[in-house]
Structure 1
Amino acid sequence: MGLLITLLVYINFLDFPLPLRSSGCFYYFKKIIYSLGFLNIMPDKSSHFNISQLFSLLRVSQWYKNLTVFLPIFFAQRLSDLPYLISVVLAFFSLSLASSSGYIINDIIDRKKDAAHPLKKKRPLASGAVSVSTAILLSVLLLLSSLSLGLSLSLPFVFFVAVLFLLMLSYSLFFRNELFADIILISINFVVRSVSGAYTLSTSLFEPYVTVSPWLLICTFFLALFLASVKRRAEAVLAVNTLHRAGLSSYDKHTSYYLLALSSTMLILSYSFYTFFAGHEKLLLTVPLSIYAVLRFAYLTENRPELCIHAQHALKDRKLFIASLAWLLVTLLIFYA
């Protein structure tokens, strides 16, 4: 985190008056930084931005995806294990920093296309408010901070952080325009996040701190596949992004409809089987709530698709929020009452 603070101070220094910014020490500091082999793009002298624009590159609103790291401790009924709980909280921030690093790389790759997009043209990189070199530096520092925080937990956990980052990088570079492969890779990313939560206090990849159930892998995968399908369906209904990304044009209304039907069915079945076979018979009481939540979410893609473009916004729907909260409370009572 010290690296991030240093970066923010450096960025904020760019907003100082020109005579101060042109002073000898700062000039040579910039020259050394941008002479490094991987930062060969000098910043635009006319570029001016503030901390809020830099902060928006992190996409903090997307950090909810890393909440899956809490699944192992939750379903292992170990929330009362304070050292483990603290380690998972730190793991959440480590994964979030790594994710933000990946998001920045994705924005760098997409900056020219984003500039022509009616909604994304105001993003810091697309608008030119933040230079590419600054974005690269921020991405590197975020990744280093993530790995440093992960090392304070365990080496096996760092392995999962690295895998997550590499998968996000491969998505941005190779798979984002590949029909079906894109959402499968997104779903695998969710599984990596969830499994990493079992290794925050581990000393070996072969000995997780809590047992990694096959049901954790299956249910997490189909949950992520469902969320990705919801987004693709909502985009098809709204007919947005099809010109912005080639791969999305293949997710027409028919394809996205069948994909949503398949993923919602698999999610309901996998969770229902988990409640029946995993030794938590009382969890069967949560099946009706989970089915309602899934069906309500699918319903919103047709009737309020603007909420489903970003999954976290769907909770603005009162009925879906109540159903999700009820599922969480009932599950907590079953596990910990």
Structure 2
Amino acid sequence: MDAKFRSELRFLDSWSRALRLHQWAKNFLVFVPLIAAHKVQHAELLMPAMLAFLCFGLAASSAYVLNDFLDLDADRKHPYKRDRPFAAGELSLAHGGVVAFVLSLTAMVIAAMSLPPAFVAVLAAYLALTTLYSAYLKRFALLDVLTLAGLYTLRIIGGGAAVDVPVSFWLLAFSIFLFLSLAVVKRVTELLAVRNAGDHSPAGRGYTVDDLPVMRSLGIASGYISVLVLALYINSPASQVLYRRPEVIWLLCPLLLYWISRVWLLASRDAMHDDPIVFAAFDRVSWIVLALGAAVAWTAS
């Protein structure tokens, strides 16, 4: 009985890792438009936002399974990706194909039945782009990180579409630069792992370990530009509409500068999770910075 129970637990753990349930933390980005527009207190908007969270979660899990299928050979040669459930032979490829199809179909059905057509279009674009990324775009240097930044930003656009809250130019500009920085962190972390394993280039990617200095510069610059966008927003007419004391928002700039600098410092020390957003979700310092940022925003309001 104990052996059967342990076997079932291992099976569930394998599926949990295959579906990347811990990566669902990224989907909290759908709530950003509500927060940015100061409409979190509108109870009637919370259900559509939560459904958007669910739809993106199902779609993302489907995409992760598809990505593992297409990356199977490369993952088996990778120092830590070889432990992924499909690469390690823990799960059936046939079952994975069925699950990926059912998850993406379920996400689209829920969206079509419960959310505005604009959200359905964004979700369809997300599924199409993530499929194109897994099948083709991830092989090309720079194009891959730009695509990842776009996929992060689509979650924010989708969140706005779900609750019929327009996503401002300022939020889009800020998001693109911040998420590009975080996407580059992901690649730098992967390149460091490859270098530590004694290899020169990750399989199926357009980078070599010689690209590390350039990638670090690109990622840090992009992160700092997102802070510049925030600083410019503070002096714009848009901030005057939402905040009674917009000058207080200047305090967000040093907080964000600190957080971005810390992320890159940890990445350079090879002490970063391979996904910085997941890292932030479980990092105590990131939560402290978030709490301080929320206090600043509340004071400015």
Q: What's the TM-score, normalizing by structure 1?
A: 0.77
- Aligned counterparts of 1:66 and 1:291: Cα–Cα separation in 2: 23
Post-superposition shift, 1:314?
A: 4.8
* 1:290 positional shift: 1.4
Letter in 2 for 1:269: L
**How far off its partner does 1:275 sit?**
2.5
Alignment of 1:11-26 (within 5 A): none
* Aligned-partner Cα distance in 1 for 2:153–2:202: 30
Q: 1:118 to 1:255 in 2, by over 3 A?
A: same
Alignment match, 1:214: 169
Check whether the contact 1:94–1:146 (CA below 8 A) recurs between aligned residues.
yes
Partner of 1:329: 295
Identity of aligned residues (%): 28
| Higher Cα radius of gyration | 1
Cα deviation digits, residues 65-121 of structure 1 (max 9, x gap):
222111110010000111112210111111110011111100001112212223122
Relative to structure 1, the CA distance from residue 291 to residue 166 in structure 2 (aligned partners, 3 Å threshold; closer, same or farther) is same
Q: Does 1:302 align with 2:268?
A: yes
Structure showing the higher helix proportion among its residues: 2
For 1:284, the aligned partner's letter is: W
Amino acid at match of 2:134: S
Determine if the alignment matches structure 1 residue 116 to structure 2 residue 77: yes
1:237 is displaced (CA, Å) by 3.8
Aligned residue in 1 for 2:222: 263
3-state SS of the aligned residue for 1:118? coil
Other-structure match for 2:7: none
Q: Is the CA contact (8 Å cut-off) linking 1:191 and 1:220 kept in structure 2?
A: yes
Shift, 1:251, TM fit: 6.5
Change (3 A) 1:232 1:134: same
Deviations 1:141-178 (A, max 9, x none): 10111112212122221111110010000101111011
Which residue, 171, 186, 191 being the options, matches 1:236?
191
Query: Residue type of the partner of 2:258?
Result: Y
Q: Write the mapping of 1:142-221 to structure 2, written as runs, cut at 5 A.
A: 142-151=103-112, 152-201=114-163, 209-221=164-176
Question: Contact conserved, 2:263 with 2:272, CA < 8 A, in 1?
Answer: no
8 Å contact from structure 1 (residues 179, 250) kept in 2: no
- TM-score, with structure 2 as normaliser: 0.85
* Separation in 1, partners of 2:47, 2:210: 41
Question: 2:59, 2:103 within 8 Å by CA — same for their partners in 1?
Answer: yes
Measured at CA, do residues 102 and 317 of structure 1 come closer, stay the same or move farther in structure 2, by a change above 3 Å? Answer: closer
Q: Which amino acid aligns with 1:219?
A: F
- Listed one character per residue, the Cα deviations across residues 260-300 of structure 1 (whole Å, up to 9, x for unaligned) are 23212211111221222132413223222112111222222
What residue identity is the alignment partner of 1:90? L
RCO comparison, higher one (Cα < 8 Å, 6+): 2
Change (3 A) 1:155 1:315: closer
* Distance verdict in 2 for CA 1:251–1:72, change over 3 Å: farther
Long gaps (5+) in structure 1: 1-14, 16-48, 202-208
- For the residue of structure 1 that corresponds to 2:263, the secondary structure is helix
Point out where structure 2 has 5 or more consecutive residues left out of the alignment.
Answer: 5-9
Question: Is 2:76–2:82's contact at 8 Å kept on the other side of the alignment?
Answer: yes
Shift of 1:320: 4.0
Amino acid at match of 2:267: T
Q: Return 108-117 or 316-325, whichever deviates more.
A: 316-325
